[in-house]
Each structure stands twice: as structure tokens, then as C-alpha cells.
């Protein structure tokens, strides 16, 4: 499973990229607002840090204007994935852009039928928001299982990008279902590395090693 980080904080992205485990980045208008920086400038910087797909979202709601904005975004770098909302105009834009060889991430997906439409529109990624579904009392991960089944039934190449990930259990469940990608905030990705028994075990090994009086090399 590919790991994307869901942030526009370039210091966090640099730090996680150094692990060698980061495959891409997703941003959205709210994350750009949080970063407090110029949109095009921050996206350009992110594309220089990570070689994999970097999602940058259009803010227009009609097809023509979405295409104009996408034209600006895709010129930033070859690894831009233009993010469009799951609307009629968004999917029209998706079809046009992927037809021209641009990666497209279709965002704000909340049903399997929406995911089916995105795949038919040739989306590179579909982003179902599991956390926001959990928030309204439904089981977000159930949607991932449904999309996996449908995409496998028809051999769709669209990658399932599990979004709105809130905790490590979401990551684990997404991996068990066979999602292609997950995007999570930096703090959730960091949580994946940790276990108290790892810390305690390492502490004990190092204490015993010191008692041997030896050094390596
Ligand atoms: C994904 O591309 C979205 O930016 C993100 O995962 C949304 O997460 P949220 O529901 O925590 O805002």
C-alpha cells in the first residue's frame, strides 16, 4: 500500500520524506488555509520534495473554469495530480484531463456508486473519506470494501486512495481490504512506527549491551 501524507506543511513533508516511506502528498483548500502560504508556491515546493503524486485541488465548480485552473496546476510539475470534486462538472473535467495524460484525484467520495462513476471517468485516484463517514455514524471502511469489490469485478485501474484517515486502525483496515493508497495526517503516520514494547525492549537491549563493555567496530 502506498503512503501519502495529507498536509501542506512542507517541514512535515520533508521530515517524513527522509524516512524513504512517503509515496506522495495530498492537499486540499482547508490544508492550504492552515499552512497560511501562497497555494501555487507551496505546491511547487512540495513537488520538489516528493517524486510521487502531489494532489492540488481546483476551486472552481464549473467544468470550463475547472479546466482553466487545472491548466495552471498541471504546469507546476509532472507529478501533479489535479484534484476535482465528485460532481458532474468534476467528472467531466476528470475525463478530459486523464484523456490528456494528466493524473486526476477525484475527491469527496461517499458512496460506491460515486466511485464507480469516477472509475468510468478514468480517474487515477478515487478518494473515499472514511473518517467523515464514521463521524455521521456510518461505517466508513465498509465503503472501501465495496469499492474494492466493484473495481476488481471490472478490472478498473483507478487506485483507491483512502482519505480522511484519523487513526492507525483505519490504516490497518484499509491495508487488510487491499486499498491501493492511504493518505493520513503526519501525526497518524508517526503513530504507525510506535509501540511501547518496542521502546522498552530497545531500552533493555541497550542497557545490557553497555554492561558488556563492548563497541561495534
Ligand atoms: C484527502 O485528500 C483529504 O484532504 C483529507 O483526507 C480530508 O480529511 P479530513 O476529513 O480529516 O479533513
Q: Is the CB of 125 under 6 A from ligand 1?
A: no
Calculate how far, in angstroms, residue 96's C-alpha sits from the geometric centre of ligand 1. Answer: 25
- The reported pLDDT for the residue numbered 156 is 98
Within-domain flag for 11: yes
Within-domain flag for 152: yes
Ligand 1 atom at shortest distance from the alpha carbon of 31: 4
- The reported pLDDT for the residue numbered 46 is 98
Q: Is the CB of 9 under 6 A from ligand 1?
A: no
Q: How far is CA 206 from CA 45, 124, 195, 200, in A?
A: 40, 47, 17, 10
Calculate how far, in angstroms, residue 155's C-alpha sits from the geometric centre of ligand 1. Answer: 26
Within-domain flag for 135: yes
Residue 208, C-alpha cell as written in the block: 545490557
Q: What does the alpha-carbon distance between residue 77 and residue 165 come to, in Å, rounded to a whole number?
A: 26
Q: What does the alpha-carbon distance between residue 25 and residue 12 come to, in Å, rounded to a whole number?
A: 11
Look up the CATH number of the domain holding residue 193. 3.20.20.70
Q: What does the alpha-carbon distance between residue 103 and residue 131 come to, in Å, rounded to a whole number?
A: 24
Write out pLDDT tens, residues 75-89.
999 999 999 999 999
What's the mean per-residue pLDDT of the chain? 98
**Catalytic annotation, pick one of 2, 34, 75, 83:** 83
- The reported pLDDT for the residue numbered 124 is 98
Within-domain flag for 217: no
Tell me the pTM.
0.96
Is residue 120 among the annotated active site residues?
Answer: no
Ligand 1 atom at shortest distance from the alpha carbon of 131: 10
Number of domains within the chain: 1
Q: Is the CB of 26 under 6 A from ligand 1?
A: yes
* Domain encompassing residue 39: 2-212
Write out pLDDT tens, residues 124-139.
999 999 999 999 999 9
Write out pLDDT tens, residues 161-200.
999 999 999 999 999 999 999 999 999 999 999 999 999 9
Within-domain flag for 52: yes
Within-domain flag for 33: yes
Amino acid at each position: 500500500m502506498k503512503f501519502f501524507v495529507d498536509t501542506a506543511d512542507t517541514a512535515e513533508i520533508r521530515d517524513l520524506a527522509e524516512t524513504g516511506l512517503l509515496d506522495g502528498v495530498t492537499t486540499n483548500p482547508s490544508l492550504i488555509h492552515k499552512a497560511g502560504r501562497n497555494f501555487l508556491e507551496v505546491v511547487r515546493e512540495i513537488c520538489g520534495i516528493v517524486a510521487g503524486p502531489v494532489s492540488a485541488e481546483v476551486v472552481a465548480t464549473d467544468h470550463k473554469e475547472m479546466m482553466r485552473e487545472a491548466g495552471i496546476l498541471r504546469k507546476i510539475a509532472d507529478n501533479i495530480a489535479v484534484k476535482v470534486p465528485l460532481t458532474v462538472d468534476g467528472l467531466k473535467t476528470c475525463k478530459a484531463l486523464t484523456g490528456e495524460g494528466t493524473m486526476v484525484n477525484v475527491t469527496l467520495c461517499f458512496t460506491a456508486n460515486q466511485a464507480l462513476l469516477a472509475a468510468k471517468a478514468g480517474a487515477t485516484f478515487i478518494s473515499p473519506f472514511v473518517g467523515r463517514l464514521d463521524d455521521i455514524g456510518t461505517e466508513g471502511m465498509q465503503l472501501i470494501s465495496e469499492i474494492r469489490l466493484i473495481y476488481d469485478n471490472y478490472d478498473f485501474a483507478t487506485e483507491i486512495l483512502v482519505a480522511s484517515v484519523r487513526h492507525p486502525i483505519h490504516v490497518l483496515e484499509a491495508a487488510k481490504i487491499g486499498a491501493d493508497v492511504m493518505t493520513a495526517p503526519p501525526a497518524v503516520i508517526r503513530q504507525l512506527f510506535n509501540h511501547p514494547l518496542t521502546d522498552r525492549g530497545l531500552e533493555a537491549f541497550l542497557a545490557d549491551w553497555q554492561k558488556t563493555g563492548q563497541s561495534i567496530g
